[in-house]
Amino acid sequence: MNSSLAFLRRFLAAWVLGVPLLVAAQAEPTAQAVRVTGAVARELALDRQALPALPQASASVADKAYEGVPLWDVLSAAGLAPAVAGRRHPTLSMYVLARGDEGYQALFSVAELDPALGARGALLAHRVNGAPLGAGEGLVRLVVPGDLKPSRAVFRLVELRLQSAP
Q: Give the pLDDT of the chain (166 residues) as one tens digit per residue.
A: 555 555 545 655 554 555 444 444 444 445 699 999 999 999 999 999 999 999 999 999 888 999 999 999 999 999 988 776 677 777 888 999 999 999 999 999 999 999 888 777 899 999 999 999 998 889 999 999 988 888 999 999 999 999 998 8
- 105-109 and 94-100 as β-strands: parallel, antiparallel, unpaired? antiparallel
Looking at residue 155, its pLDDT comes to 94
- Res 22: pLDDT: 42
For 152, phi then psi, to 5°, come to -95, 10
Measured CA to CA, the distance from residue 137 to residue 154 in angstroms comes to 9
**Confidence at residue 88, expressed as pLDDT on a 0 to 100 scale:** 78
Return the pLDDT at 2: 59
